[in-house]
Amino acid sequence: MGFSQDEVRTLIALSDGRPNSCAGVKAVAEANLRVIRDRIARLKRLERLLAETSAKCAGNRTPACPLIEVLLE
């Protein structure tokens, strides 16, 4: 589920059965969900950029390559 080792330790520590333990677990899970959603958004932007740039590349022998130009920006 994408939890770091420290987060797993925290979750295990929160699993002691106290009434407020579920609230702590939910807070850790929601924080991790925000991180995962941010990663997904960044990956989607990278995918879009790579797809657009790759589509501009003819793949032939030329000194002007759109992929290299984006890397040099």
| Cβ atoms 46, 35 nearer than 8 A | no
Residue range 12-62, pLDDT digits in tens: 888 777 777 788 888 889 999 999 999 999 999 999 998 988 888 877 777
Q: Which long-range contacts (CB under 8 A, 24 or more apart) does 21-26 make?
A: none
Confidence at residue 72, expressed as pLDDT on a 0 to 100 scale: 83
AA identity, residue 65: C
